[in-house]
Amino acid sequence: MKLGRYVKYWGRNAVVWTGISFACMLGFWLLNELGNAQYIQGIGLGASFLVYLAIAGLFVSMISILSAFQTEIPLLISMNVTRKAAVWGLAAGHAATVLLHILLGILIWCIFGIWEMEIIIFISSLLASVLLGFGGFGMLFGAIALRWGKIGSIIMAVAILVMTISIAVFIAMQGGSISFQHISIEAMMEYNFWPLALIMVVFYLFTGAAAFMLTRKIEVRV
Distances (CA, A) of 194 to 110, 129, 197, 199, 217: 21, 8, 5, 9, 36
Q: What is the DSSP letter of 39?
A: G
Give me the pLDDT at residue 117, please. 76
Query: d(Cα 11, Cα 15) in Å, to the nearest integer?
Result: 6
Q: Give the tens place of pLDDT for each residue, 158-168.
A: 776 776 676 66
9: amino acid identity, one letter: Y
Task: State the pLDDT at residue 1.
Answer: 55
Mind listing the pLDDT tens digit for each residue in 3-59?
677 778 888 999 999 999 999 888 877 777 665 545 445 566 677 788 889 889 988
Closest-CA residue to 168 (of 89, 92, 76, 58): 58
Other Cβ atoms less than 10 A from the Cβ of 180: the count is: 20
Say how far apart CA 138 and CA 66 lie, in whole Å.
6
Rounded to whole angstroms, what are the CA distances from 5 to 16, 59, 69, 81, 137?
A: 16, 27, 19, 12, 27
pTM of the model: 0.84
Give pLDDT tens digits for 200-221.
Answer: 999 999 999 999 998 887 766 5
Residues sharing a CB contact under 8 Å with residue 157, sequence separation 6 or more, in sequence order: none
Q: Is 47 helix (H, G, I), strand (E, B) or coil?
A: helix
| Alpha-carbon gap, residue 54 to 200, rounded angstroms | 15
> At residue 70, does pLDDT exceed 80?
yes
Identify the pLDDT of residue 37: 47
Q: What is the pLDDT of residue 135?
A: 93
